[in-house]
Every structure is written in C-alpha cells, then in structure tokens.
Structure 1
C-alpha cells in the first residue's frame, strides 16, 4: 500500500507524455491521469510545452512515511527524487539526469516556472518501471505500475486460444557452455541429462512453453552427424562421442512436458577463435579451408560460395529429417557486423548476377540461403517452423525513410547484409524474432518504436512476429534496466499488437539467476 501511495504522489510530478502539435499554444488544462485505472486528482494541472512535445508537472512535497522523498535544492536548482532502489537528480538547464549516478539524456530539462518546479513525467516514470500511455483523442495519460494491478486475464472462452497462440520461449546457448551443458559435465552423460531436466523444470515453472536450443554452435553438432563433428561443449574435445544422443534426449524430455523444441543453428560461424589445431579432422575448416574467412577474431564460412551455403543447408536437413523438432531457428550470425571481411576473390568468382556493389551481392547471398533453406525444410516437413532472429534494427530512418526512427550504430541490413524485409514480404520464413534488446527509455532505439515498426513489417503477411527480450540487461547501468518491471511492461505493451504472437528471452542462464526478482514477476504475469 505504501508503494502504491508513493507511485500515485510521485506521478503527480514526474510524468512526461506526448502532447499536442508544435504549432499549438501551450495548455494547462484538459488532461486526465489514471494510475492502474484510478484517476489521480491534482490541484495543479500539467504544463504542456508543444515546442518540445512533452508535458511537465509540478514537483510537490511528499508527506512523510510514503517510502519516497522529493527535494528541491535552490542553490543548485536541482530536483531530487529518491526511493530505496532509485535516485533521480535533475538540474534546471541541463539536458541530462543522473539516475543512480549514471548520466542519461533528457528530452526536456527541469524548470522553475513562476515559482513552480516542473519536471518531465514520462522520463521519471519509465526510470521507475512504470508503463506510460497517451490517448490523444481523450487527452488521457494511463499509467501501469505492474505491482498494484493484476495483469488482465482473457475471458474464459478465449484463454485456451491465447495460451496456444502465444510462444513463451527461451534461448539455450551451448557455445562456451553458457547455458547448457556445464563445463563440469564434460564426458558425463548422466550429469548433462540431469542438468537439462533441471533447466526445463525451472523454465516451465516460470511459464515458458518453448526452448530454442543451440545445436550447432560452431560448425559442429550436439547430435551424431555424417557431415560435421561432435561439438566440444559436450566433452571438451571436438569430435569426441559423448556416449549418447543429446539432441534425441533433449527433444524427448522437452516434449514430455508439452513444450516445443526448436533447433537453433549458427549457420556461418565456423569457430569462436582463429585457431584450427584443436578442430576435428572432419571440421569444415580442415576439409574446405578455401571456404573459410577470418574476420572479427573468428572463423566464418564464406556465404558468397554457393557450395558452402549448400553444405550448411545439408547439415540442417540432417536434423529435420531425423528428429521430431518443432522448428529450425537461425540467429543473426550472417556476415559479421564489425571489422573487415576479406571476400574479394569470392565476389569476383561468384557474382553471376553482376551486382554493382559487394553489399548488394552479400545481401543476395544471404537471401538465396534463406530462401533455399526454407524451401528445403518445408519440402521435407511442412509442419516444421522456420524462423530467424535478426538484430533488432533493420535500418535507421536517417538512412532509409522506411526504416525505424532509431539511431542504432549497427543495422541488420547495412552491417550484417540481412535483408529481413525481403524475407518477410516473400514469406520465406514462418516467423521473425527481432532482438529488441533496448528499454522504453533508450534514446537510440526505444522499445516501443521498434515493436511498432516490426509489427508494421509483418502486417498483411503470413509471417508471425515473436519479440526477443533481454533479461540479461537487468541490473546494468543502461537506461531502464534497474527493475524487472521493465520486462513485464514490455510484455504488457506487446499485447496491444495482435501481430506479436510470442516472446523469446535471452537467455536461460540469465532467467535462472532471477535478476531483480524477475522470476516471480514472470510467474505472476503468466499465471503460474
């Protein structure tokens, strides 16, 4: 109850919302504020600054015993808001705030107007984990604390449909033994199996119903293969038989629980470093060194060589043919996003379509791979889903007017040569799961902006949209990640878009660490 009182009073002076157009005059009346469905009354109305497209509200004195303090330091012209978890300091004239000591850019500075201290509402509310909405037609601010109000539950007649429709997945990384199996389980099949069972139990208890398990971390396999060697994550030595079929075991255990199993492949990464002395004799870098490119301190299979692409497709089809998987999943390892990728010789040898630039040729290489892989999967088993999880920004609006209104330093189209828009429009994939690993408060790539952009991309197609979430960022200094409510707010936000049919979390290890109490929040949200 004290927390709710604190939210209500704090919201009276901390919200910042979209306002009227810049051509309109500043207004101080006509705006209603609701917190968790309850109207908040204030004797001082919000002040709208149309030139900045923000709304500010007055800083007011908070009564004692409400769990938060608000202060105004006249000498430095600084407003400070403190809770047990968060301290926000904003100074008149400065275009940044200090949140727990970290400097974060502000859209509008705090100001002292006619004796009233006015502060931006949206910025502070989102820093405190609130979800803020604005309805222009009714001029209403809606706020969701997540803690005070229960998550809306679908009517009984559609609960089953909703549950069946929504994917609640988790990426399980095997590279570097990140999520499974542990390095301590090398050469111990029983221990690896116990670890996987415990992992599934933990994830299912959180409400998860699907796992995306990395079965090809570095041109190798977590299953017996005639094309690629056993992965070193199983025994510590690449090419060594672990004594059982891990993929068969994982699929059986996953399906026992009514959960989906998606086989996750890194298509073009050949090795996590540039060394080859520890690679198995049948590793692609040993058998076909002419296919290998060294870039970004790793070994890559060159996507520009058609025979190399077909080798990867054949390796994936081994799994599709032999195992009852629910889906084939690729991540964003196409061309590396940084450094130099020396493929001039392949460009000269394999540019049969006469592309004028290497960038166009690279994108066509990936397009051909995605198209041919999707066709091959569905020719064998039409029911197996084929999806890809690209980096969260396709292109910035500053580069392409049809891109998202973001300022990302890397984009999937320009840096990884992955033309996801074409994959969607041609329906070469069954779903996309963009990695939207930013918070609502991000200045470079706001979460809400990207969800809306990707929703628009899949509209009018048969391609599903799942959203990739970043629980691994919780507790980091990056803006918006100081509370687990950020993830819950993102899930709630997704529900307003029917095109969003699920969520995937990176990764299992980070969920199991329960950052900032996320596990209980997920259990409550998913009704576990």
Structure 2
C-alpha cells in the first residue's frame, strides 16, 4: 500500500491531463434542497420546474450520470408524505403543498436525460426542536427524539428508529421509480455523548442500515442502496484521521456494510486535499469488496468565501480517482453549475463522452437479450435508427438502451468514444451524420446495469478511419434527443 500511495501522490503532483476516459464511471452530484441553497430558488411551481430542468440540462451537458436529490430534508419532504410535512423550501410555509410532486418531476426529468435519480434521505437529524417536522415526530413517538442544543435527533439506540426509517425508505421505494436510496448522516451525531461501547455503537447504526436494506430490497432489489460516510474510514498505519473518522468517531462501519452486502455503494465525503485525501482514497478502494465507491469532492471549497482552493486541487483528485477506477461526486450542485474557478468547464472536457454506471453484478449478472431488427434510414443530414425491443432476463421487466456510433465497422462498444446515448428510453433516435457513413450498435441495459450483446447496423463496412469525434457529432443535438 505504501508504494501505491507514493505513486498516487506523484500522480497528483504531475498529472495535468485527463486519464483515459472509461466506459463505466460514476459521475454524481448532490443536489441540495435544504433552504433552497441549490434548488428551489423561488416559491413558484412553474419557476421551480424551469429552474430544475435548467440545472439538469447543465449537468447532462457535462455528462453527469447520477443525481442525489435531497428528498427527506429534516423530518420534512419534497414529496407528499403521510408521516412528515412538506419542507419549507418549496413554498416558504412548512407543510404547505407546492401543487405538484417535485420528486416525481425530478425523476421524470432525470430519466429523460439518461441520468439516474437517487432519493437522498437525511436520516438521524430532524431539525430544530420546535420546527414542524420535529414536533410531529415527537408527538407521534415521544421517546424517539433526543435534544442536543436546539436540534432534534432520532435516537440510534432505539430499535424504533430503524423501524421508522425503514418504513420511510420503503414508502419512497414503493411509490417512485427511483434508481437508488442514498442515506445521509447515518451515524451518531458528533455531539452525542456516547455511553455505550464503540462496538455497540457501530452495531446500533448497522442495525438501522440492515432494516433499511431489507425493506428496500424486498420491494425492488435493483434499487441501489448507498450512503455518504465521513471521508476517512479510520486511522491508517502512516496517516492519521486527526480524530475525525467514520468508524471510530461516529460508529459508522461503512466498509463493513460493503463487505456484508448491506450497501451497494459508498460516496464518502472526502472534502480534503493532499495527504488527507490520497491515502484515504486508496483505503476506500482497497476495501470496496467489488462494490461502487465514488468519493465526494469539495467543489464548494473553490469558492473565495470558503477555503479558496485552486482548481488544480479538485482536478488532480479527479484524475487520480479515475486512475483508481472509482468515479467521483460533487458537493454541491450550485458550485459546480456556477463554474466556480472553472470546474464546470474542466469537467465538460474531462467527461468528453457519456459513461455507464458500473453494473450491480453482485445481485444479478444475467444480461438482457439483444435488441432486434436495427434499421438505419439515411436522410439528408441525419440517420434515423429504429429497433425492436430486447428481452429482460432479470425479472424486473424494464429495459433501456445505449447507442454507439463509429466510422469503423463493427462498432467497438468497449470504446467510450463511440458511446453517444445512454439509458435511452425509446426505440428510435435521429443521429446527425455530417455527410459521413456511420455504423451503429444498440445494446440493452437492465435495472442492475447488465448490458446485452450489441446489435449492429447492416451498413457496408467502410475503410477504417479516425475515431468518431463525439463533440462534432452530438453538439447541439444531445438535449433534443431526450425530449
């Protein structure tokens, strides 16, 4: 491990160009709703929808493929819920309906753009003691909430906490076509005076995670269960966590949850740089147990009013994470879409091509059958592709499609440069050809991310030439094809 860390530190100091762009990579963003700090910026339903679609358009243009949408805020929600009130961010009045369902709207808009939507659930904190949501839970479950300062927290030492959160996550999973449940603050509060052993504390949090896992997976086993642990799992042999880590400080055994199968993915909050980042990133990778780990990067630290980091801090971390095959997650959306210090501009070039999410083969590895009867009709400026549906062999009875194009035949679907549309919901698409003879391939993807064998277009094979320039082909067209 020491050798690996030295190599990565050297890479971090010298790497200024993007590593080879992978076909599978998590590229995620946390989209915060608390206080409307990312969204919404107004209390008008019409304006909120316009704001959200504009944000998602920007994220799609940077080939972001995963959105964590803050769904449970602080014992308050952005969807109609019998247990908890509407969050104040939507109308300015706690408990008041905005007149539409923001969660359903965001799911639909993400899926139109080929992006996954994960419902971000803030678990243990329930807000200020006298806020609407906290008071309602205290009235229904008098012994469940602990007061620390002026804040309320669900008691992780009460079995009812896990029961409540499992029911809540099951309701979201049952009612909505989400791609994931993402748990935030699934740990002891740092201000909690722990009276049980650390081992018992970890067991208490793990029991909550287990209950949520069972409730979600019993309904839809393909829904990815993830969390955002503290950015350092624990002290390393040569690098200390400075007293702030997941496992010991707040009893969050996140690596154990991967090992035992209670979590499909982790998005650790690695809001650090240098020796506080790279060795701990390697540790997460080495203890990923074949699951997904995509560290959170502190793009907010680029802002002059925060830590005023240089852009190179984040870009080097992105490069090293790509070398490690880990993916990355931006905290938070507005700092990214505002192009703070040029991070959005850099990422558009860094993510020159779309990427698929790594498949969850630990649950199901049976690929769908191939799409059938792919036909290409040549037009003056575009090729019109259509195909017949594939067959889902996973039992979920739902398929989406990926489209590849190349001047070479057969199209190499392992080359990310040929991937022009991901998670496409229809069975036809129009592709501008710029006067060139393009060859195409279609694959089907199931709920678990398993990809079928390709179905190729029947164009005559032409002479090999340069790889297709994605920007030249798609620029100005990518948004249209999803609408």
The offset of 1:301, in angstroms, is 0.9
2-side partners of 1:281 and 1:525: how far apart?
43
- Taking structure 2 as the reference length, what is the TM-score of the superposition? 0.67
The offset of 1:325, in angstroms, is 0.4
Q: Is the 8 A contact 2:126 2:134 kept in 1?
A: no
Q: Which residue of 2 aligns with 1:175?
A: 34
Alignment gaps of 5+ in structure 1: 1-17, 20-53, 55-121, 123-129, 135-141, 155-161, 345-356
Q: Which residue of 2 aligns with 1:241?
A: 97
1:214 aligns with one of 70, 76, 82: 70
The offset of 1:477, in angstroms, is 9.3
Structure with the greater relative contact order (CA < 8 A, sep ≥ 6): 1 or 2?
2
Are 2:324 and 1:488 equivalent residues in the alignment? no
Q: Which residue of 1 aligns with 2:409?
A: none
Q: Which residue of 2 aligns with 1:455?
A: 285
Q: How many residues align?
A: 350
- Superposed counterparts of 1:154-165, under 5 Å: 162-163=22-23, 165=24
- Superposed counterparts of 1:354-373, under 5 Å: 357-373=196-212
TM-superposition CA deviations, 1:314-333 (whole Å, max 9, x none): 01111100100000001234
The structure with the largest alpha-carbon Rg is 1
Q: CA separation of 1:176/1:477 partners in 2, compared to 1, >3 Å: closer, same or farther?
A: closer
2:10 aligns with one of 117, 122, 132: 132
The offset of 1:131, in angstroms, is 7.3
TM-superposition CA deviations, 1:448-470 (whole Å, max 9, x none): 11111111111xx2321111111
Q: Which residue of 2 aligns with 1:434?
A: 268
Q: Is the 8 A contact 1:229 1:282 kept in 2?
A: no
Q: Which residue of 1 aligns with 2:177?
A: 324
The 3-state SS of whatever aligns with 2:287 is: helix
1-side partners of 2:25 and 2:266: how far apart?
14
2:84 aligns with one of 211, 228, 235: 228
- Superposed counterparts of 1:122-521, under 5 Å: 132-133=10-11, 143-146=14-17, 151-153=18-20, 162-163=22-23, 165-182=24-41, 185-186=42-43, 188-271=44-127, 273-274=128-129, 276=130, 278-279=131-132, 283-295=136-148, 297-337=150-190, 339-341=191-193, 357-397=196-236, 401=237, 405-440=239-274, 442=275, 445=276, 447-458=277-288, 461-475=289-303, 482-498=309-325, 500=326, 502-521=327-346
Q: CA separation of 1:237/1:285 partners in 2, compared to 1, >3 Å: closer, same or farther?
A: farther
1-side partners of 2:216 and 2:45: how far apart?
30
Q: Which residue of 2 aligns with 1:158?
A: none
- Taking structure 1 as the reference length, what is the TM-score of the superposition? 0.62
Q: Is the 8 A contact 1:377 1:384 kept in 2?
A: yes
1-side partners of 2:150 and 2:258: how far apart?
32
TM-superposition CA deviations, 1:33-52 (whole Å, max 9, x none): xxxxxxxxxxxxxxxxxxxx
TM-superposition CA deviations, 1:116-155 (whole Å, max 9, x none): xxxxxx9xxxxxxx97339xxxxxxx83333xxxx3445x
Alignment gaps of 5+ in structure 2: 353-470, 472-483
1-side partners of 2:259 and 2:109: how far apart?
36
Q: CA separation of 1:229/1:517 partners in 2, compared to 1, >3 Å: closer, same or farther?
A: same
Q: Is the 8 A contact 1:301 1:308 kept in 2?
A: yes
The offset of 1:282, in angstroms, is 7.6
Q: Is the 8 A contact 2:243 2:249 kept in 1?
A: no
Superposition RMSD in Å = 2.6
